[in-house]
């Protein structure tokens, strides 16, 4: 199933048990530590990544003390958890804003931060588009179909570089030079019964955090091969 344009919201889905809550918070912290879409040292409102990490550590320490039945630890754990929940409200706002700005990969962005998507997605499929990420020189490419996909890149649409095929309609390319313009295209992998045309080229000026310069176009069936 291809990923659709997001209409739902990013949510935490916090468990009810304390041990599971610790694991849940730590998972979000870990996934935001080195993240394609959120640069190290991110800030959202009054919350910095450094403060978030400190608040998570305080919560996990107090949760461990409460588990060990240390006097007074339960109250301190609850207070620390309230702080983390406030932090997570800001994290959700940051992730939601990034997802809204990049609807073609919104679900990918939300899940990369350890969050979940609540609500149903729309009917729009992924498009043939390219996106810059927060990591300079790394871009995300999406195709308008699902399943096994082939990819190509070029700086002039003449000299072509074959990229590794994928099982899904999303891939990434790293090591590109900031400021260069690259062109990408994709197609579904041919089967015994069908062969597919390449999509139109779609350009991207390599930067950080922005979207593509253009896009559009769809896969089209180029014919039908005889059955075996």
Look up the CATH number of the domain holding residue 165. Answer: 2.60.40.10
Q: Where are the alpha helices (DSSP H) in the chain?
A: 18-33, 49-67, 73-101, 106-112
Q: With residue 59 as reference, give the H or E element that holds it.
A: helix 49-67
Look at residue 4 and tell me if it is in a domain.
Answer: no
Look at residue 184 and tell me if it is in a domain.
Answer: yes
Nearest to 95 by CA among 115, 72, 122: 115
- Cα dist. 146→2, 117, 143 in Å? 5, 20, 8
Q: At what angle do helices 18-33 and 73-101 cross, to 10 degrees?
A: 40
| Tokens 């339960």 -> residue | 74
Give the tens place of pLDDT for each residue, 169-183: 888 899 999 889 999
Contact 126, 2 (CB under 8 A): yes
Q: What local confidence, expressed as pLDDT, does residue 215 receive?
A: 38
Pair 14, 111 in one domain:
yes
**Total structural domains in the chain?**
2
Last residue of a domain, one of 118, 141, 161: 118
Give the tens place of pLDDT for each residue, 4-26: 344 468 999 999 999 999 999 99
Pair 106, 13 in one domain:
yes
Assigned token pair, 68: 């060990």
Pair 65, 91 in one domain:
yes
Pair 153, 93 in one domain:
no
Indicate if the pLDDT at residue 223 is higher than 70.
no
Indicate if the pLDDT at residue 52 is higher than 50.
yes
Last residue of a domain, one of 70, 87, 118: 118
Buried b (16+ CB within 10 A) or exposed e, 158-175: eeeeebeebeebbbebee
Pair 111, 138 in one domain:
no
Assigned token pair, 187: 């197609």
Q: What local confidence, expressed as pLDDT, does residue 228 receive?
A: 27
Range 31-53 average pLDDT: 92
Q: What local confidence, expressed as pLDDT, does residue 1 receive?
A: 30
Pair 149, 109 in one domain:
no
Calpha distance 175→153 (Å, rounded): 13
Q: What local confidence, expressed as pLDDT, does residue 118 receive?
A: 83
Range 149-154 average pLDDT: 94
Indicate if the pLDDT at residue 69 is higher than 80.
yes
Last residue of a domain, one of 118, 151, 177: 118
Q: Residue 89: which domain range?
A: 9-118
Q: Tell me what percent of the residues of the chain surpass a pLDDT of 70.
A: 84
64/34: higher pLDDT: 64
Q: What is the CA radius of gyration of the chain?
A: 22
Pair 114, 36 in one domain:
yes
Pair 94, 57 in one domain:
yes
Give 190-210 as a DSSP string: P-SSEEEPPPPPEEEE--SS-
Look at residue 135 and tell me if it is in a domain.
Answer: yes
Pair 93, 150 in one domain:
no
Pair 109, 16 in one domain:
yes
Range 72-78 average pLDDT: 96
Pair 14, 109 in one domain:
yes
Look at residue 44 and tell me if it is in a domain.
Answer: yes
Calpha distance 155→164 (Å, rounded): 17
Mean pLDDT, the chain, as a whole number?
Answer: 82
Indicate if the pLDDT at residue 186 is higher than 80.
yes
Look at residue 97 and tell me if it is in a domain.
Answer: yes
Q: What local confidence, expressed as pLDDT, does residue 87 receive?
A: 96
Q: What local confidence, expressed as pLDDT, does residue 119 receive?
A: 67
Nearest to 150 by CA among 182, 183, 187: 187
Pair 95, 140 in one domain:
no
Look at residue 194 and tell me if it is in a domain.
Answer: yes
Range 136-159 average pLDDT: 88
Look at residue 43 and tell me if it is in a domain.
Answer: yes
pTM: 0.60
């Amino acid at each position: 199933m291809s990923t659709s344009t997001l209409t739902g919201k990013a949510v935490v889905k916090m468990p009810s048990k304390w041990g599971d809550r610790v694991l849940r918070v730590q998972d979000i912290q870990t996934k935001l530590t080195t993240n394609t879409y959120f640069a190290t040292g991110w800030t959202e409102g009054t919350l910095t990544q450094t403060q978030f990490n400190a608040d998570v550590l305080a919560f996990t320490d107090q949760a461990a003390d409460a588990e060990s039945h240390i006097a007074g630890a339960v109250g301190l754990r609850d207070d620390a958890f309230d702080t983390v929940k406030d932090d997570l409200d800001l994290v959700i706002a940051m992730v939601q804003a990034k997802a809204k700005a990049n609807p073609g990969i919104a679900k990918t962005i939300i899940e990369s931060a350890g969050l979940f998507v609540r609500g149903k997605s729309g009917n729009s499929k992924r498009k043939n588009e390219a996106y810059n990420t927060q990591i300079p020189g790394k871009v995300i490419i999406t195709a308008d179909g699902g399943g096994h996909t082939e990819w190509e890149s070029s700086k002039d649409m003449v000299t072509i570089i074959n990229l590794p095929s994928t099982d899904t309609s999303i891939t990434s390319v790293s090591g590109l030079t900031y400021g260069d313009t690259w062109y990408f295209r994709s197609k579904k992998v041919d089967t015994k019964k069908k062969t597919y045309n390449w999509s139109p080229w779609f350009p991207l000026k390599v930067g950080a955090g922005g979207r593509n310069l253009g896009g559009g176009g769809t896969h089209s069936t180029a014919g039908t091969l005889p059955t075996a």
